Structure 1
Amino acid sequence: MMNIDKWVMGFAGTVVLVSLLLAWVLSPYWLWLTAFVGLNLVQASFTGFCPLAMVLKKLGVKSGEAF
């Protein structure tokens, strides 16, 4: 069973890959989404604050080490 940490990393990785595909196919402005995800991961590593982790916790997903 996946815990919150695995869900967050899987979601972030998926968003990065999708935004790279969209930047390649449609417009390089989609790279801003990649930058946003990266910055959010960095700030979460320092602060422990992650909006997706909070939503998943409310949905009853098992906690992990980080969140």
Structure 2
Amino acid sequence: MLDVGLIFKIGAVGILIIILDKVLKSGGKDEYAVITNLAGVVIILMMVINLISKLFSTVKTLFQL
């Protein structure tokens, strides 16, 4: 079952990335803002990949005879 805490973690990471992006862009550090955005996307993808692997293992056990 999907953990509600994970949704809040993804939302918190998203909000943190948005804040860092705005601060860095206003400071003229556009390159660091892009790197920060990419790091945030990778962190969120790692959270989601864990869920997808659990989904595939559940489907695999469901269709095994």
1:31 pairs with 29, 34, 39, which one?
34
Specify which structure has the higher proportion of helix.
Answer: 2
Q: Can you list the C-alpha shifts for 1:41-65, whole angstroms capped at 9, x where unaligned?
A: 11221125xxxxxxxxxxxxxxxxx
Unaligned runs of 5+ in 1: 49-67
- Structure 1 segments of 4+ aligned residues over 3 angstroms from their partners: none
Q: What is the TM-score with the length of structure 2 in the denominator? A: 0.54
Which protein has greater RCO, CA pairs closer than 8 Å, 6+ apart?
1
Q: Write the mapping of 1:1-67 to structure 2, written as runs, cut at 5 A.
A: 3-26=4-27, 27-28=29-30, 29-48=32-51
Count of residue pairs brought into register by the alignment: 46
Unaligned runs of 5+ in 2: 52-65
Task: Give the deviation of 1:35 after TM superposition.
Answer: 0.9
Measured on the aligned residues, the alpha-carbon RMSD in Å equals 1.7
Computing the radius of gyration from Cα coordinates, the structure with the larger value is 2
Q: What is the TM-score with the length of structure 1 in the denominator? A: 0.53
